[in-house]
Structure 1
C-alpha cells in the first residue's frame, strides 16, 4: 500500500523539518523526488543521502516567490519526466499582532507563504492537466482554523493556503487533479529548537514542555508523522479524497477548552 513507484514528486522546502520528512517518506515509497529549496547546499545533501540509501532524488535551488524561476524550473523537470505530485510545503513563520507586524515582515510572509504556493500551482497545474491528472498537497496550519496569539501575518497566510486548497480542488475536478491540505499543530522541527534557544536562552527545556502541552495529547508531532499523512494523501489509496483539510494537531482544534 501507499506505493509511489514510477511517480515524480516535487516538494518545496523539502530539505528540512516537515519537508525533509515528506521527501524521505516519498523516496522510501518509490517516488522520484525533486527537492525545491532556497538552500541549495542543504537540498543537495538531502538528495545525496536519499540516493545513498537506494532512493531517487534531485536537488534544485529555487526561490518560490519568484514566478519566472518557478516556471522555468518546473518546466525543465516536466521535460525530464511527467510530474504526478506537488507538495507546497515551503514557508516561513512570524510572531506579531496586527499593530506590531511591520510592512516588510507582512510582505515577506505574503511573498513566500501565499505567492510561493500560487507560483507553484500556476507552474505545475498545466503539466498535471497534460498528464491526465495528479495530486497537490498544501501545508496549512491549525492557525488557519483557530485564533493563535501573536501570529497575525502567519495565520493570514495559512488561511489563504486553506482556501486556495478548496478552490483548486473545485476547479480541477474534471482534470483528475486532487488537492488537499494538512494543518499541523506544533511539530518538533529544528525551527522550534532554534526559536527556543533564541527566545528563551537557559529555559529551553521548560518552554519546550510548556509548548508541548498546548496540544491536548501532551506532546508535539514528529515530522515523520506529517510525512506519513502526506504519503497517504498523495497515494492512489486516497483517490476518493479531495478538497479536505486534515488537522494533525493532537486534539488542538477540537479538544482545547
Structure 2
C-alpha cells in the first residue's frame, strides 16, 4: 500500500489532500488539532506546537504502517500566518508558537521519518508545503516569511545529505500558490497598519484570483505522483507545473 501522513489534515489543503488521496485508495494518516471527519482516514488528534510529543506520535504511526507499505510520504502541511504585524509590534509568544508550528515541527518530524525509515527500501518522500513568502519579503509577515524560508533551506540540506544515503528520501519544498482557505480569511481580517499589503489580498478575493483548496490538492497530488518527482529538486512552485 501507499501511505500518506499529513499534518493539518482537518482543514484547507490538508483536508482536501487527505480526502482525495483516501478516495484514490491510499492509506492516509491525518494529524490535526481539530477532528478530521473523513471515514477512510486514520486520524490522530494532536497539536504539533507541542513539539515534545511529536517523536512518539510519528514513531507510533511508522511502526504501524511500515511492514505493509510500498511507499511512505510525509506531507508537512500544517502552518499558520499569525502573528501578522511589523517587527517591533509582534507578541513574542505568538512569534515563538509560529516558529514551532511552521518550522520546528516539520524539522522534528522529518528527522524522525528519515531515522526510522533508514532501512526501508520502498519509495520515501517528504513534501513540505512552503510559500512564496519564504522566497520574497513581505511587510507584516516577518515571522511567516522567515519560517517558510527556513523550511526551504532545511529541505535543501536534506536533499544534499540524502544523495549519499543507500535508500534515499526524496524531498521537495513546494509553494502552493494563493489559496482560498482560512489562512486568507485571517489575512483579510488584519489591519493595514499590521499588514501594508492588505488591499492587495482583499482584491485577490474580490477578483476571484484565489484557487480553491480542492483544486490545489489535485495539483499537489499530481505533482507528488509524477514519475519525475525525484528529478525536480528541493524547491518548487506548483504554478510551474
Global fold match (TM > 0.5): yes
Residues 196 and 239 (structure 1 numbering): CA distance in 2 closer, same or farther, change over 3 Å? closer
Write 1 or 2 for the structure with the bigger share of helix.
1
Of 53, 62, 73, the residue aligned with 1:78 is: 62
Please, which of 21, 26, 33 is the counterpart of residue 28 of structure 2? 33
Deviations 1:30-57 (A, max 9, x none): 2100001112xx22x1x32xx3xxxxx1
Unmatched runs of 5 consecutive residues or more in structure 2: 193-198
Distance in 2 of aligned mates of 1:97 and 1:198? 12
Residue pairs, 1:118-133, within 5 angstroms: 118-132=107-121, 133=123
Structure 2 residue 78 is the aligned partner of structure 1 residue 90: yes
1:238 and 2:228 correspond:
yes
Any conservation in 1 of the 2:188–2:202 contact (CA below 8 Å)? no
Identify the residue that residue 184 of structure 1 maps to in structure 2.
176
Query: Do structure 1's residue 228 and structure 2's residue 218 form an aligned pair?
Result: yes
1:213 CA drift (Å): 7.5
Q: Structure 2: how far apart are the matches of 1:141 and 1:180?
A: 12
How far off its partner does 1:9 sit? 0.9
TM-score normalised by the chain length of structure 1: 0.78
Structure-2 residue corresponding to 1:156: 146
**Aligned counterpart, 1:254:** none
Unmatched runs of 5 consecutive residues or more in structure 1: 1-5, 52-56, 201-205, 251-257
Whether the aligned pair in 2 keeps the contact of 1:137 and 1:233 (CA below 8 Å) is no
- Other-structure match for 1:210: 203
Q: Is the 8 A contact 1:180 1:233 kept in 2?
A: no
State yes or no: 1:64 paired with 2:48. yes
TM-score normalized by structure 2?
0.83
Offset at residue 161 of structure 1 (A): 0.9
User: Contact 1:196/1:207 (CA < 8 Å) preserved in 2?
Assistant: no
Which residues of 2 match residues 102-141 of structure 1 at below 5 A? 102-132=91-121, 133-141=123-131
Change (3 A) 1:125 1:233: farther
Q: Which whole-Å CA distance do the structure 2 matches of 1:98 and 1:193 have between them?
A: 22
| CA apart distance, 1:89 | 0.5
Counterpart of 2:196?
A: none
d(CA) in 1 for partners of 2:8, 2:129: 11
